[in-house]
């Protein structure tokens, strides 16, 4: 039977992702189906550091950061049930079929839906879609790999 969780907050996201401000790009998980699907929220605010230079007077969230938000939501899905997750990192391995449909601006809320399409012991693939107000703004297929986390103090 699949575990179903309606939501988890930022404190639990911290358990799954190594990212922290200013690079943590997911605020909440609102839907979760174990080892299958996840939906996350990213609240886009004018306080985001990238808006200072992208673009002054016409702020738009960079597409690469939308993809990163998708990857981080997918990382929560992968890490949630990963044994010994404190010893692993999820690395972005590749991006395919990325499309950007509409600009994302301050005040928008990204709803990011990620679905596992392939899951191996070391590599996998996710299909992602990002929406603002029910309209598709971006989509991509994201490949990831699971790697051993380096020991503290190591420069590996």
pLDDT band at 1 (very low <50, low <70, confident <90, very high): very low
Return the DSSP state at 44. -
SS3 141: strand
Diameter of the chain by CA atoms?
51
CA–CA dist 52, 113 (Å, integer): 28
Residue 54 designated active-site: yes
Q: What is the pLDDT of residues 49-77, one digit of tens each?
A: 999 999 999 999 999 999 999 999 999 99
For residue 23, whether the previous peptide bond is cis, meaning omega lies within 30 degrees of 0, is no
Residue with tokens 């189906």: 33
Spans of all domains in the chain: 4-148
Q: Which of the pair, 74 or 7, is modelled with greater confidence? A: 74
Report phi then psi at 101, rounded to 5: -100, -35
Q: Residue 81's pLDDT is what?
A: 85
Mean pLDDT for 26-55 is: 96
Nearest to 35 by CA among 153, 121, 150, 141: 121
Catalytic residue (one of 28, 37, 54, 88): 54
Residue count of the chain: 156
Query: Chain-wide mean pLDDT for the chain?
Result: 92
Write the CB contacts of 50 (distance below 8 Å, at least 6 apart in sequence): 61, 62, 65
pLDDT band at 155 (very low <50, low <70, confident <90, very high): low
Q: What is the pLDDT of residues 75-115, one digit of tens each?
A: 999 988 888 888 888 899 999 999 999 999 999 999 999 99
Overall fold of domain 4-148: Thiol Ester Dehydrase; Chain A (3.10.129)
Q: Which of the pair, 154 or 57, is modelled with greater confidence? A: 57
pLDDT at 7 > cutoff 50: yes
Q: Which of the pair, 152 or 149, is modelled with greater confidence? A: 149
Report phi then psi at 155, rounded to 5: -105, 25
């Amino acid at each position: 039977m699949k575990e179903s969780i309606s939501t988890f907050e930022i404190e639990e996201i911290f358990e799954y992702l190594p990212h922290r401000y200013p690079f943590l790009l997911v605020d909440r998980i609102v839907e979760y189906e174990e080892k299958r699907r996840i939906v996350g929220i990213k609240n886009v605010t004018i306080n985001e550091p990238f808006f200072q230079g992208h673009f002054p007077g016409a702020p738009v969230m960079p597409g690469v950061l939308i993809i990163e938000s998708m990857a981080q939501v997918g990382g929560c899905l992968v890490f949630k049930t990963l044994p010994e997750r404190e010893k692993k990192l999820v690395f972005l391995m590749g991006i395919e079929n990325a499309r950007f449909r509409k600009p994302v601006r301050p005040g928008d809320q990204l709803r990011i839906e990620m679905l596992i399409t392939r899951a191996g012991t070391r590599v996998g693939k996710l299909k992602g879609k990002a929406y603002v107000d029910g309209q598709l703004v971006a989509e991509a297929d994201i490949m990831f790999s699971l790697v051993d986390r380096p020991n503290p103090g190591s420069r590996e």
